[in-house]
Amino acid sequence: MQPLQGVKVMEFSTMITASFAAMMMAEQGAEVIKVEPVELGDPMRYLGSSKGGISALFANCNRGKKSLRMDLKSDAGKEVIRELARDTDIIFCNFRPGVMDALGLGSEALRALNPRLIYCGVTGFGTAGPDRDKPAYDPVIQAQAGFAAVQGQGKEGPEFVRNLTCDKITAYTACQAATAALYVREKTGEGQHIDLSMMDAGLYFLFPDGFMHRTLLDDDVDAVPPLSEMLYDLTVTRDGGVTLSAANEAQQVGLLMAIDALPLMADERFNSQEKLIANIDEFRELLKDEFLKYGTDELLAKLKENDVPAAKCLDYEDVWNHPQYAANNSIEVAEHPLMGQMRRVKPPAQFSGRRLEPASNSPAHGQHSREVLAALGRSEAQIKQLFDEGIVQ
């Protein structure tokens, strides 16, 4: 049995955050209905590489869902949503504050129909304050949550993580919060409203190490450089480069043993972890020429022999072909009826030693509209009328 089998989810969203959260639940067995506007649907369908009218980005965030193509501004469309909500466990919504309330489909309205409903409202910046109504995209959140500042430490200025990091961090947070609310409901029988902002989720994720040197406020703090300045560094070899993270004294000794530079541990500048951290730039400068004596594979073998965390920086094809992913059964190639062959990464959590398979293919726009309406008990004549009037497509 899949962990969330029997759980029903409804998703109102554009782009990644709520989509990815709902997909994680779908891959753990939940039934997910993705409600999309009649016109173009989720704009993520059209961003980036695509085939068959579906982008790879959309496909990677929307497996295992049913697509209901619905005009939410129509009275008949709203009534369908209310009917669905009566038997729904979780709703994810990532529109700006007030949008769903204006449609009469907000948290209070739908939870009045179904007190067991868990309504997770995801916003960019929160439901109050000066930024409440600002549009939110991942780079904006990265800038405002401190990601750009952390990435730019020791460089000429702020830099971004060139990945939709805050979108996905918020998705994981939303998924965890909704699952926790399910657990509370098992004990109380009641659902609840969850508020979650991308900005808060981003800062919470970044804070433990990203702000570790800004956490202690007294004047007598022993200040040391943040971990990012110690652990994230490319080591150049004779024929390439590796990344290595010697984060404690044992690993520093292992590193020096691997390159036959152990006498450096007797140097007054480096003979304790505190001194080494204080003089880390000087330490690295002294080791540069030593690393150039070794080829990449040779150095990696020596580092592994001395239990020093290290890896070659893989390019895309090397990632797919890495034997550890094969051992973990992490990646598969599958056939999509509209998109052809495509790579899919399997859900990372294993339950009782079993790797969950990716959920069914991402849906075409409105692919399941008729099926969803029929499951509500609508007759063929009623369904035809909704299609004829353009309320459902």
Following DSSP, what letter does each residue of 235-247 receive, concatenated? EE-SSSEEEE---
Count H helices and E strands in the chain, helices first.
Answer: 18, 15
pLDDT band at 327 (very low <50, low <70, confident <90, very high): very high
Separation CA 57–CA 284 (nearest Å): 40
Q: Which of 59-63, 287-291, 337-341 is the least confident region?
A: 287-291
C-alpha Rg value of the chain to the nearest Å: 26
Instruction: Examine the pLDDT at 247 and tell me if it is beyond 80.
Output: no
Q: Which two tokens stand for residue 350?
A: 């294993």
pLDDT band at 229 (very low <50, low <70, confident <90, very high): low
Give alpha helix (H) positions in 189-272: 198-210, 227-231, 249-258
Residue with tokens 């239990």: 307
**For the chain, percent of residues with pLDDT exceeding 70:** 98
**For the chain, percent of residues with pLDDT exceeding 90:** 73
Model pLDDT, residue 227: 66
Model pLDDT, residue 157: 84
Residue 330's nearest CA partner among 348, 353, 309, 354 is 348
In DSSP notation, 45-97 reads: GGSSSEETTEEHHHHHH-TTEEEEEB-TTSHHHHHHHHHHHTT-SEEEE-SPT
Domain ranges of the chain: 8-207+330-388, 233-316
Between 166 and 316, where is the model more confident? Answer: 166
Model pLDDT, residue 265: 80
Separation CA 330–CA 324 (nearest Å): 9
CB contact at 8 A, 227 and 212: yes
What is the average per-residue pLDDT within 11-33?
A: 96
What is the average per-residue pLDDT within 14-21?
A: 95
What is the average per-residue pLDDT within 103-108?
A: 97
Q: Which residues pair with 344 in a beta bridge?
A: 332
Model pLDDT, residue 172: 98
Between 223 and 53, where is the model more confident? Answer: 53
What is the average per-residue pLDDT within 75-87?
A: 97
Query: What long-range pairs does 174-177 form, CB within 8 A, spacing at least 24?
Result: 174/17, 174/18, 174/21, 174/92, 174/120, 174/122, 174/201, 175/21, 175/24, 175/25, 177/120
Q: How large is the angle between the packed helices 165-188 and 17-27, nearest 10 degrees?
A: 50
For residue 217, count other CB atoms closer than 10 A to its CB: 6
Q: Which residues pair with 55 in a beta bridge?
A: 50
Among positive and negative, which fits the CA dihedral 263, 267, 271, 276?
Answer: negative
Separation CA 204–CA 166 (nearest Å): 11
CATH architecture of 8-207+330-388: 3-Layer(aba) Sandwich (3.40)
Instruction: Examine the pLDDT at 231 and tell me if it is beyond 70.
Output: no
Model pLDDT, residue 127: 94
Model pLDDT, residue 233: 74
Model pLDDT, residue 230: 64
pLDDT band at 156 (very low <50, low <70, confident <90, very high): confident
Residues contacting residue 233 through CB under 8 Å, at least 6 positions apart: 243, 244, 284
Q: Which two tokens stand for residue 65?
A: 């869902």
Helix (H) or strand (E) holding 112: helix 107-113
First to last CA, the chain: 33
Model pLDDT, residue 35: 98
Strands (E), 170-215: 192-197
Model pLDDT, residue 285: 85
Model pLDDT, residue 228: 66
Instruction: Examine the pLDDT at 122 and tell me if it is beyond 90.
Output: yes
Fill in the amino acid letter for 170: T
Separation CA 259–CA 23 (nearest Å): 46
For residue 83, count other CB atoms closer than 10 A to its CB: 15
Instruction: Examine the pLDDT at 273 and tell me if it is beyond 80.
Output: no
How confident is the prediction for the chain on average, in pLDDT?
A: 92
What is the average per-residue pLDDT within 193-222?
A: 93
Write out the CATH class of domain 233-316: alpha beta
Model pLDDT, residue 276: 76
Instruction: Examine the pLDDT at 241 and tell me if it is beyond 90.
Output: no
| pTM: predicted TM-score of the whole model, two decimal places | 0.91
Tens-digit pLDDT profile for residues 89-103: 999 999 999 999 999
Instruction: Examine the pLDDT at 63 and tell me if it is beyond 80.
Output: yes
Instruction: Examine the pLDDT at 277 and tell me if it is beyond 90.
Output: no
Among positive and negative, which fits the CA dihedral 281, 285, 291, 297?
Answer: positive
